């Protein structure tokens, strides 16, 4: 089964948003960013989209 996140539906902190922007600009894939932030991939993807960030897709 997938990873379990205890932080269900918690608001994003400014530090997390800053880290998301930094990792996305470095070209890290979604899964790695989500794991670094201890957030789900869906949550990370939604926040990146809301902020207008592009996230690299693994090929």
pLDDT single digits (tens) 12-42: 999 999 999 999 999 899 999 999 999 999 9
39: in domain: yes
> Into how many domains does the chain fold?
1
Give mean pLDDT, residues 40-55: 90
55: in domain: no
Give mean pLDDT, residues 1-9: 61
The string of DSSP letters for the chain reads -----S-TTPPPPHHHHHHHHHHHHTT-BHHHHHHHHT--HHHHHHHHHHTT---B---
33 contacts 20 by C-beta, under 8 angstroms: yes
Q: What is the pLDDT of residue 37?
A: 93
6: in domain: no
d(CA 34, CA 26): 14
Domain that holds residue 30: 18-50
pTM of the entire predicted model:
0.78
Q: What is the pLDDT of residue 24?
A: 92
Q: What is the pLDDT of residue 4?
A: 60
24: in domain: yes
């Amino acid at each position: 089964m997938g990873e379990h996140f205890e932080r269900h539906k918690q608001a994003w902190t400014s530090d997390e948003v800053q880290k998301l922007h930094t990792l996305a600009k470095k070209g890290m894939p979604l899964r790695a960013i989500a794991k670094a932030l201890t957030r789900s991939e869906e949550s990370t993807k939604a926040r990146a989209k809301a902020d207008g960030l592009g996230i690299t897709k693994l090929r």
